[in-house]
A = this chain, B = another copy of it.
């Protein structure tokens, strides 16, 4: 029976940049990126020998450059979810606006969804172009204290597909960390694509030395979403990323006509709250489905500022408050945070 069993087939690819090996590494493999790669005794007869022997050796020379660039960034937060369409980008944009509503905080928003960048649209900055200076690529500033970077700013035509295999995506993510002049930031929020593949491995690897505060994991209530989220939690565990907490998005829907609540994505197995308890991770709250959130995203507006009275706004602000507490930067006055 073909099965993905440990240790070879199912091992984490992390730390191994070789994506073109012809066969699993042999038992006494010296490491595909070590100085001995392709030359050690164990390499004799290995189908990968030529590939390893000709590959660049030693640690990635770009890592110290990334570390240097990230020195001025106090808190790095990944927004993750195994599944697509649960609201990662929406929530990343809400976090960006939320953190930046405190004018004493400098915020960066980095979009590493290379094939499906939605943040420029959601932040109302579509069509902007990146400028460079001696200190690197300048982020696109949505407001004085909120800068962002996305492949969406680099497309000659917004409808062009970005048809890239993993290695090319990894290269651009590295540039976003190494070449962008982020300056001194209180928060860098990283919006990721669905899955547990190249983008996730690379950003984790590139930021390892600088340190990531943790991940905010987004889900919707139905079991097919939780299924993928469990895999993402396993990824975090294996990659040593702390879970700041789980957010359940699109929870209930209140009919604008009759005020009756419907569960569009029914929590057949208990939803996000039960999952958080099962995995013993903080549950940051349920954000009800408010169609105006999607509309705000389509128009590039800040939902929490446009609709301060929505129950969704209350839930979102509560999540932001908990995240700030979790990273050791609690809000000074909770009630005033939108008025500053």
Contact = CB atoms under 8 A, between A and B. Distances in A.
B268 A298 contact: yes
A13 interface: yes
Interface residues of A, number: 100
A14 B163 contact: yes
Contact of A55 (B51, B159, B298): B51
B201 A165 contact: yes
A197 B223 CA distance: 26
A230 B1 CA distance: 40
A268 B19 contact: no
B22 A20 contact: no
Interface in A287-309: 289, 291, 294-295, 297-299
B238 A264 contact: no
Interface SS of chain A: helix, strand, loop or mixed?
loop
A147 to B, nearest CB: 15
6 contacts: A3-B130, A50-B54, A115-B196, A264-B289, A266-B294, A269-B298
Given A50-B54, A84-B193, 6 more contacts: A85-B220, A159-B231, A160-B231, A163-B238, A224-B297, A253-B264
Interface of A: 1-6, 10, 12-14, 17-22, 50-51, 53-56, 82-86, 89, 114-116, 118, 121-122, 129-132, 137, 151, 154-156, 158-169, 175, 179, 193-198, 200-201, 220, 222-225, 227-228, 230-235, 238-239, 253, 255-258, 260, 262-266, 268-269, 289, 291, 294-295, 297-299
